[in-house]
Amino acid sequence: MSVKEAGPVKPIRVALLGCGTVGTEVVRLLTDQAEDLTQRIGAPVELAGIAVRRPNKHREVPEHLLTTDAAALVKSDDVDVIVEVIGGIDPTRGLLLEALRNGKSVVTANKALLAEHGPDLFEAADASGADLYFEAAVAGAIPLLRPLRESLAGDRITRVMGIVNGTTNFILSAMDATGAGYNETLEEASRLGYAEADPTADVDGFDAASKAAILASLAFHTRVTASDVYREGIRAVSAADIAAAKGLGRTVKLLAICERVTSPSGQESVAVRVHPAMIPRTHPLASVNGAFNAVFVEADAAGEMMFYGQGAGGAPTASAVVGDLVAVARNMVASGHGPRESAYAALTAQPMGNTPTRYHISLDVADKPGVLSQVAAVFAEHDVSIAAVRQEGRIEDASLVIVTHAATDAALRSTVDKIGGLPVVRDVVSVMRVEGEE
Ligand SMILES: NC(=O)C1=CN([C@@H]2O[C@H](COP(=O)(O)OP(=O)(O)OC[C@H]3O[C@@H](n4cnc5c(N)ncnc54)[C@H](O)[C@@H]3O)[C@@H](O)[C@H]2O)C=CC1
Ligand SMILES: N[C@@H](CC=O)C(=O)O
Ligand code: NA
C-alpha cells in the first residue's frame, strides 16, 4: 500500500541552511524526487525555509522560502530537521548546537566544524535524543561514513588510507600527466573551477586533515580532532618530486592515513596524518585521477575494502546529504534513532615523530669515491636501514636515490637534515614519504 493510500501522514519539515553549490542541488533533489522520497520514508519531506546570505541572488529555488534569518528557522516549532550546508565554524556551530539541544536532528556536510567541534555536537545530540548525520562531510557522494559507523561496527578496523581531497588530486594527477610545475597546474585547476577562490584549505591539507579526523574518530571509536592530525599540503611538491617518483615506477598522491598503532609494551594509540606520498603505480590508489576520491579500509575480519567515487561537486555531495535526510526521516517515522557517538576506546593520538614511515631521498652528490659510504654512515648513525640505493654517475656529479625501510619519522627527518649538510651532497633534490608497499 502506498503512503497516499494509507491516509494523511504528518510531513517532515526541513530547514535548509545555506544555498550555494551543495544547497541548490539539495533543493533540486528534494523537488525532483519528492514522490519517491515520500514512499521511501513513509511521510512527505517538505522544505519549511531556506536560509541564505544574499536573498536577491538568482537561484533555481522557491523564492517564498528564502530568509536571511537562519537562527529563526532553527528555533521554529514548524521545523523538525536542520540541513546545514553553509560551511565553516561561525555561525554554524551555534546554530547546530541550538538545534540539537532543542531535539532537532541535523544533517551536515561541514567537515571543518565536525573536525573541530564534533564532540560538542555529539554531546548535544545525545542529551536531547536528536540524530546527527554527516555522510557528505567526507568523500562527498561516496558511502563511507555509514559503512564505518554501521556496516563495520562488528569488526575491528586497523587502517584507513585514501585520497579525500579532489582539488589536490586533480593538481597532482595533472602534474604527473604533463610534467608541469605546481603553480601552473593550480592555475589550471582554478580556471576549470576545481580549486576554490582561496585554495588554502585544499592545497595546505586542512580539508583532508578535517576528513582524516572524522574518519579516525569513527574507525577507532575515539575522539580525534583536527589538532591531532599531522598535516602537510602539496605546495612543496615539485616537478622534480614527480619525475623522481616516475623514475621509480611510483606516483605522488596526497594521502590521509589513519592507523591503529601498538607500542612494544602493547599500548594502543592512533596515528593520523595527511601528507604527499609516493605510491607504486600498480597500487589501486595510483589510478584514482582528477577530482575523484578513493579510500582503502582494512579490518580484521572483513579484510581490505576500497570505496571510490565523486568526492566533491554540488550534485554528488547533495546525494549524500539527501540520503542522510532520508535516514533521519525514517528514524522519525519509526520513532527510532540513528547511531550515537561511539568514542569509548578513548585512544591517545601518537605524535608524528614516533610514527613509523619510509622515505624516498634523491640527492645530487659529488662523483668521487667514498660518497656512498659517507651517506650510508649517516643512516646507520640514526638507526635507519636502507632498502634500496641507485647511483647514476654524470660528468661532474652523480645522483643518488635511496629508499629506506620503516623508521620513526623523527629519525628519518634528522637523517635527511644531516645528509643535506654533508659537503659531498650538492643538493637534496627530492624527499618524500613512501606508502603502499611492504
Ligand atoms: N562543494 C563541494 O564539493 C563540497 C562541499 N562540502 C561542504 O558543504 C558545505 C557547503 O559547501 P558549498 O555549497 O560548496 O559552499 P558554498 O560557498 O557554495 O555555499 C555556502 C552558502 O552559504 C551561504 N551562507 C554563508 N553564511 C550564511 C548564513 N549565515 N546564513 C545563510 N547562508 C549563509 C553563502 O552565501 C553560500 O551561498 C561546506 O561545509 C563544504 O565544506 C562537502 C563536500 C563537498
Ligand atoms: N574542496 C573539497 C570539496 C569536497 O570536500 C575537495 O576538493 O575535495
Ligand atoms: Na561520503
Q: pLDDT tens digits, the chain, 438 residues: what are they?
A: 555 555 668 999 999 999 999 999 999 999 999 999 999 999 999 999 999 999 999 999 999 999 999 999 999 999 999 999 999 999 999 999 999 999 999 999 999 999 999 999 999 999 999 999 999 999 999 999 999 999 999 999 999 999 999 999 999 999 999 988 888 888 888 777 677 778 899 999 999 999 999 999 999 999 999 999 999 999 999 998 999 899 889 999 999 999 999 988 999 999 999 999 999 999 999 999 998 999 999 999 999 999 999 999 999 999 999 999 999 999 999 999 999 999 999 999 999 999 999 999 999 998 888 889 999 999 999 999 999 998 876 656 788 999 999 999 999 999 999 999 999 999 999 999 999 986
Other CB atoms within a 10 A radius of the CB of residue 161 amount to: 25
Q: 106 and 96 in contact (C-beta within 8 Å)?
A: yes
User: How far, rounded to the nearest angstrom, does the alpha carbon of residue 191 sit from its chain's CA centroid?
Assistant: 23
CA–CA separation, 208 vs 172, rounded Å? 14
CB 66 near ligand 1, within 6 Å: no
Give the per-residue pLDDT at 304: 96
Instruction: State the distance from the centre of ligand 2 to the C-alpha of 243, rounded, in angstroms.
Output: 26
CB 15 near ligand 1, within 6 Å: no
Give the per-residue pLDDT at 367: 80
- Residues serving a catalytic function are 211
The number of the ligand 2 atom at minimal distance from the alpha carbon of 202 is 1
DSSP codes of every residue in 23-47: HHHHHHHHHHTHHHHHHHHTS-EEE
CA–CA separation, 85 vs 108, rounded Å? 6
Tens digits of per-residue pLDDT, 208-223? 999 999 999 999 999 9
The number of the ligand 2 atom at minimal distance from the alpha carbon of 168 is 7
Instruction: State the distance from the centre of ligand 1 to the C-alpha of 116, rounded, in angstroms.
Output: 17
Instruction: State the distance from the centre of ligand 1 to the C-alpha of 8, rounded, in angstroms.
Output: 35
Give the per-residue pLDDT at 437: 81
Residue nearest atom 19 in ligand 1 by C-alpha distance: 20
What are 215's three cell numbers?
574518519
Residue nearest atom 16 in ligand 1 by C-alpha distance: 20
CB 147 near ligand 1, within 6 Å: no
Q: Which-ligand-closest: CA of 139? A: 3
Question: How far from 146 is each of 24, 60, 152, 320, 339, CA to CA, in Å?
Answer: 24, 30, 9, 10, 10
Instruction: State the distance from the centre of ligand 2 to the C-alpha of 234, rounded, in angstroms.
Output: 14
Residue with cell 522557491: 62
Tens digits of per-residue pLDDT, 163-180? 999 999 999 999 999 988
Residue 222 phi/psi, 5-degree rounding, is -145, 145
CA–CA separation, 299 vs 260, rounded Å? 11
Instruction: State the distance from the centre of ligand 3 to the C-alpha of 318, rounded, in angstroms.
Output: 10
DSSP SS3 for 182 = helix
Q: Which-ligand-closest: CA of 318? A: 1
Name the residue of 86, 116, 293 whose CB sits within 8 Å of the most ligand 1 atoms, as the mutation to test its pocket.
Answer: 86
What percent of the chain shows pLDDT beyond 70? 97
Q: Which of 223, 119, 242 is nearest to 172 (CA)?
A: 242
CA–CA separation, 331 vs 340, rounded Å? 13
Tens digits of per-residue pLDDT, 224-259? 999 999 999 999 999 989 998 998 899 999 999 999
Beta bridge partners of 272: 258
What are 1's three cell numbers?
500500500
Helix runs in 192-340, H state only = 200-203, 206-220, 239-247, 314-333
Whether the ipTM is more than 0.90: the answer is yes
CA–CA separation, 126 vs 250, rounded Å? 46
Other CB atoms within a 10 A radius of the CB of residue 244 amount to: 22
Q: Which-ligand-closest: CA of 110? A: 1
Handedness of CA 33, 37, 39, 44 (dihedral sign): negative
Q: What is the residue type of 323?
A: G
- pTM over the 0.90 mark: yes
